[in-house]
Structure formats: C-alpha cells, structure tokens
Amino acid sequence: MTEPSYLAAVRESYDTVSDDYAALVKSPTELDPLSRSMLTAFAEHVRVSDRGPVADVGCGPGKVTAHLAGLGVSPFGIDVSPKMIELARSAYPDLPFSVGSMTALEIEDAMLGGILAYYSTHHTPPELLPVVFAEFQRTLAPGGHLLLVGHVGTGERRRPAHAYGGHPVSYESYRLPTDQLAQLLSQAGFTIDAQLVQEPDEDLKWKIASFLAHKPTTEQAVLTS
C-alpha cells in the first residue's frame, strides 16, 4: 500500500529529536509499578502461550525492547525513524532492530507470539487505526498477545511545535477515549483480557490506558460465534 502521508512528519520529527528523546524518556525500570506490571504480565502471557517472537512496534531507542528481553521473551524492534533505529542498534547490539511502519509490517501472516505497541499509535489518525490494528491481527499467531499502551482523553488532537529538548516537530497526536480504543480492538478481532486506566497524579500528567488482548484461536472463535 502507499505510505500514509502522516508518516513523513512522524519520521522527520523523531529523527530530529532522537538523541534528546533517548536521554529524556524513562527506562521501564523507572516507570510506576502499574506500568511495569502490565509489561510483566504481557511477557508472562507470551512466554506461556509460546507462539513466536515479539515485535516492539514503535520501539524508539530500544529501551522497552531490551526490557522485554530481560523478561524472558524474544523481541525485535521496529520504528519508522531511522535515527531511532541507529540508537537502538548502538545501545543493544544483541537485539534485532529494523526501520518499518506499523501500517504495513514486513512480517508474514501469523508469525508473532506478541506485539507491543507502547505509546506508539497516538500519532496515527483515528481513521487509520483500523489499518494498524488489522496489521497487528494479521501478523499475530492465533493465541498471540497484544499490549497496547498510550495516553487517552476525549478525542483531543494536538499539534505541538516543539518537543524533547525544544526541537521543532511537525507531527500530530490524538488522545482518543478509552472506550473507542477498546471498540476498535474488538472490531479488529481481538479479545480484550485486561484493561487498566491510570488517572493523572503528581507523577502522571495525562490519563493512560493499557489493553492486554489476544487473537483468538480457531477453537475460541468457534465457541464465541
């Protein structure tokens, strides 16, 4: 498919901020306990189901990819920003990273045991999220797991001029309602196993939603049909 136009702005912006992003964004070990617990639960589900490797989609500088490896799964990272991939390969040379887009993953059908989309879908225009979730569904093996995490809101559309050290950026971001994201996942064929909403506090600036879901097996699909 033709690359969606918004990806050019995302690629250019993250190439621009990559060094400061890597320095400013926390590693998973520095996250709040609930955020860490969702990553741990996802890794355990993937290990138990044992359906294949894990794609960290929108991996940035690879910090979360490396954390997943430490939790006992076999991850690889994908990001639309070549600069981010350079940083990830430099920091974690034992892990595989590649440039790619979640709108058209260069991954065979039913190959993955897990997909992590960790604060990586919020730049996708809402009308294109079904395309992204369909790619997740296509590439996951039956019984494979998805962890989707991101900021949520009431449908806000943000156009920041600067980010991560004051560098100019041209991307847009969206904070969709939790219920809308849950509906889109269900419409894409996922079964949601757990949903966690974290309210803003002195540590969290914005509301965060985490969805732990799986792609049903043929037997599960028959039972629910």
CA separation for the pair 60, 123 (Å, rounded): 14
pLDDT-based confidence at 91, cuts 50/70/90? Answer: very high
Q: Which residue segments constitute the domains of the chain, with CATH numbers given?
A: 6-224 (3.40.50.150)
The predicted pLDDT at position 219 comes to 64
Q: Which residues pair with 57 in a beta bridge?
A: 78
Q: Which residues pair with 193 in a beta bridge?
A: none
CB hemisphere CA count around 221 (13 angstroms): 10
For residue 222, pLDDT beyond 50: no
Q: Please give the backbone phi and psi of residue 75, each rounded to the nearest 5 degrees, phi first.
A: -100, 160
pLDDT in tens, 152-187: 999 999 999 999 999 999 999 999 999 999 999 999
pLDDT in tens, 26-70: 999 999 999 999 999 999 999 999 999 999 999 999 999 999 999
Mutual orientation of helices 63-70 and 33-49 as an angle, nearest 10°?
A: 60
For residue 221, pLDDT beyond 90: no
- Find the radius of gyration of the CA atoms of the chain: 17
pLDDT in tens, 22-35: 999 999 999 999 99
CA separation for the pair 190, 188 (Å, rounded): 6
pLDDT-based confidence at 220, cuts 50/70/90? Answer: low
The predicted pLDDT at position 111 comes to 97
pLDDT-based confidence at 206, cuts 50/70/90? Answer: confident
| Mean pLDDT, the chain, whole residue set | 94
How far does Cα 218 stand from its chain's mean position?
Answer: 25
End-to-end Cα distance, the chain? 31
Spatial CB neighbours of 156, under 8 Å, sequence gap ≥ 6: 174, 175
Q: Is 110 exposed, middle or buried (0-12, 13-18, 19+ CB in 10 A)?
A: middle
The predicted pLDDT at position 2 comes to 79
